[in-house]
């Protein structure tokens, strides 16, 4: 899947301390192929890769402590932008009632089902009164289908009068909505198997008399590149206000969602996630991007890490380490940085590689208070002891333990950790800050 492909590329990126421009370009070539294989439209994939590459080969990214992580974050941010920004685009019902919502799309895309899902949502979540009308006169059972669904979601439908044309049904629906004092009128228009002139002409005629406030294009995400072409065709003919992607519960390759915004210029407002009438969800670009990248909270961890661990700090620490000058004061600084990042438990929960480390920590009796206790231990040392931990003989250890409310074995563990850090810190230039922390507890 797209997610698997990208995870592979990013694991390799993240696993490296130093990154050159060529590494980024190589990775982006792989990302481009993965996007195309997931049915992302070619021009969309191309501009995506260009945007990411331009930001990622920047000096500050490649020189940072965690260049691979930074590149992954840039990809994530661009994915969100490509999907329409951080937040879900809401249904806009802010107009004079009856607010008309017109549903358009090809036959079989899920239009009728989605109309009923939306009507249910308007009744339940917005607390508004809706009326639904089917303008599909091509298929005999279409109007009956909407009526049955209306009964299931407890939203009324326009009574069926056979032989009426779509524009006349739309007029009657508007009239009826006014008489009933309905807040919202949903028009389920006819679809065809292919985009054709007759379909477009009918759609425009209905739009011109009903003046829809929302025109929502319903597309089947499983149809991949076809869905993108359909969206392109519709958006050229009518002013869409949004897109609804159905069958997101199926194993769509994701490309349709990724291209939709770029191709229509309109947000994906909802995702259909099943046949049941409550299976309609607000479309959250940031969540979808995270799911595609399969990396959960790693991005926010990187953001936090970037705030607290400055590259200069890390470099200076590594210098001191190499010269054998990394003392308890430095260790304390490191511990406090780790606390700023949310502590060991949070690190372990977020970073895939830290799972093992967490288990090891728990086995050795470490818990989330360990950072605080270690800080207290260092605080109970004299300035001389901090600068030169080798001074800590048995007698001094007992004093420090009493002063910090800990046991001598805790002091020993801290000293052991300080030594271990010596080894790990030597690699910090090669491995980067987060990796360094991982090595500490791994
Ligand atoms: P229309 O021709 O565009 O009106 O499509 P329909 O609303 O009649 O839907 C066609 C089929 O797709 C029906 O069997 C629906 O239950 C199914 N369907 C619609 N939306 C979804 C969805 O989000 N997920 C799944 N799994 N099935 C859906
Ligand atoms: Mg239908």
Model pTM greater than 0.80? no
- For ligand 1, atom 27, name the residue with the nearest CA: 275
d(CA 91, CA 139): 29
Confidence of residue 314 (pLDDT cuts 50, 70, 90): low
Task: Tell me the average pLDDT of the chain.
Answer: 81
Cα dist from 359 to 126, 222, 348, whole Å: 46, 41, 9
- pLDDT at res. 313: 60
In the predicted model, what is the mean pLDDT of residues 356-381?
A: 69
Give the HSE-up count for residue 413: Cα atoms under 13 Å, Cβ half-sphere.
Answer: 17
* Cα separations in angstroms, 182 against 93, 96, 132, 372, 420: 12, 11, 10, 61, 71
Q: What is the pLDDT of residue 432?
A: 45
pLDDT per residue as tens digits for the range 84-127: 887 889 999 999 999 999 999 999 999 999 999 999 999 999 99
- Say yes or no to pLDDT of 388 above 50: yes
Would you state the pLDDT for residue 366? 57
- Pairing assessment for the beta strands 280-282 and 268-272 based on DSSP bridges: antiparallel
Torsional class of 306: left (φ above 0), alpha (ψ -120 to 50), beta (otherwise): alpha
Name the pLDDT band for 363 (thresholds 50, 70, 90).
Answer: low
Rounded CA gap, 440 and 422, in Å? Answer: 9
pLDDT tens for residues 211-242? 999 999 999 988 888 888 899 999 999 999 99
Name the nearest CA neighbour of 334 among 437, 442, 183: 437
Instruction: Give 321 or 25, the one with higher predicted confidence.
Output: 25
Asked if pLDDT for residue 143 goes beyond 60, the answer is yes
Cβ contacts of 383 within 8 Å, gap of 6 or more: none
**Domain 99-283, classified CATH 3.40.50.300, yes or no:** yes
Q: Is the pLDDT of residue 30 over 60?
A: yes
Architecture of the 2-82 domain:
Up-down Bundle (1.20)
**Boundaries of every domain in the chain:** 2-82, 99-283, 298-441
Is the pLDDT assigned to residue 422 strictly greater than 90? no
Question: Does residue 274's CB lie within 6 angstroms of at least one atom of ligand 1?
Answer: yes
Whether the predicted pLDDT of 207 surpasses 90: yes
Q: Which residues contact 195 (CB under 8 A, 6 or more apart)?
A: 106, 230, 233, 234
Residues 148-172: what's their mean pLDDT? Answer: 96
Distance (Å) from CA 221 to ligand 1 centroid:
11
Please tell me the predicted confidence (pLDDT) of residue 294. Answer: 57
First to last CA, the chain: 30
The CATH architecture assigned to 298-441 reads: Orthogonal Bundle (1.10)
Q: Give pLDDT, residue 65.
A: 66
With a pLDDT cut of 70, the percent of the chain lying above it is 77
Query: Of how many residues is the chain composed?
Result: 442
- Tell me the chain's radius of gyration from C-alpha atoms: 30
Mutation to probe ligand 1, out of 104, 105, 110 (largest number of atoms < 8 A from CB): 110
Query: 110, 218 in Cβ contact below 8 A?
Result: yes
For atom 2 of ligand 1, the residue with the nearest CA is 108
Q: Which helix (H) or strand (E) holds 312?
A: helix 311-322
Q: How many CA atoms lie within 13 A of 362 on its CB side?
A: 8
- ipTM for this model: 0.99
Residue nearest atom 26 in ligand 1 by C-alpha distance: 274
Closest listed ligand to the CA of 108: 1
Which range is least confidently modeled, 49-53, 216-220, 354-358?
354-358
**pLDDT of 357 higher than 50:** no
């Amino acid at each position: 899947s797209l997610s698997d492909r990208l995870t592979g590329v990013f694991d390799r990126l993240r696993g490296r301390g130093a990154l050159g421009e060529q590494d980024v370009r190589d990775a982006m070539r792989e990302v481009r192929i993965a996007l195309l294989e997931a049915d992302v439209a070619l021009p969309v994939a191309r501009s995506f890769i260009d945007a990411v590459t331009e930001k990622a080969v920047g000096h500050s990214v490649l020189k940072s402590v965690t260049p691979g992580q930074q590149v992954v974050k840039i990809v994530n941010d661009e994915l969100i932008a490509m999907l329409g920004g951080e937040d879900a685009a809401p249904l806009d019902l802010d107009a004079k009632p009856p607010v008309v919502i017109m549903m358009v799309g090809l036959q079989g895309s899920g239009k009728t089902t989605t109309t009923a899902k939306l009507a249910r949502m308007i009744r339940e979540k917005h607390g508004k009164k809706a009326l639904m009308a089917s303008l599909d006169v091509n298929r005999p059972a279409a109007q009956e289908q909407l009526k049955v669904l209306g009964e299931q979601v407890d939203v009324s439908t326009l009574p069926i009068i056979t032989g009426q044309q779509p524009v006349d049904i739309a007029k009657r629906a508007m009239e009826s909505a006014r008489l009933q004092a309905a807040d919202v009128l949903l028009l389920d228009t006819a679809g065809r198997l292919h985009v054709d002139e007759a379909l477009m002409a009918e759609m425009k005629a209905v739009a011109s008399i009903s003046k829809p406030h929302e025109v929502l294009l319903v597309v089947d995400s499983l149809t991949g590149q076809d869905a993108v072409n359909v969206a392109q065709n519709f958006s050229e003919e009518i002013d869409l206000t949004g897109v609804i992607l159905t069958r997101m519960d199926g194993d769509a390759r994701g490309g349709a969602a990724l291209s939709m915004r770029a191709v229509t210029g309109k947000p994906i407002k909802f995702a259909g996630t099943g046949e049941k009438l409550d299976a309609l969800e607000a479309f959250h670009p940031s969540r979808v991007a995270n799911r595609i990248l399969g990396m959960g909270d790693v991005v926010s961890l990187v953001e936090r890490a970037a705030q607290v661990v400055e590259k200069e700090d890390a470099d200076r620490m590594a210098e001191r380490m190499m010269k054998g000058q990394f003392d308890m004061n430095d260790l304390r600084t490191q511990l406090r940085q780790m606390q700023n990042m949310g502590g060991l438990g949070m690190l372990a929960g977020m970073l895939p590689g830290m799972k093992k480390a967490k288990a090891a920590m728990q086995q050795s009796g470490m818990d989330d208070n360990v950072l605080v206790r270690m800080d207290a231990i260092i605080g109970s040392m004299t300035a001389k002891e901090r600068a030169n931990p080798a001074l800590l003989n048995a007698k001094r250890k007992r004093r420090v333990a009493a002063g910090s409310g800990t046991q001598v074995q805790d002091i020993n563990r801290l000293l052991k950790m300080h030594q271990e850090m010596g080894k790990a810190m030597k690699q910090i230039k090669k491995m980067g800050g987060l990796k360094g922390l991982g090595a500490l507890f791994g």
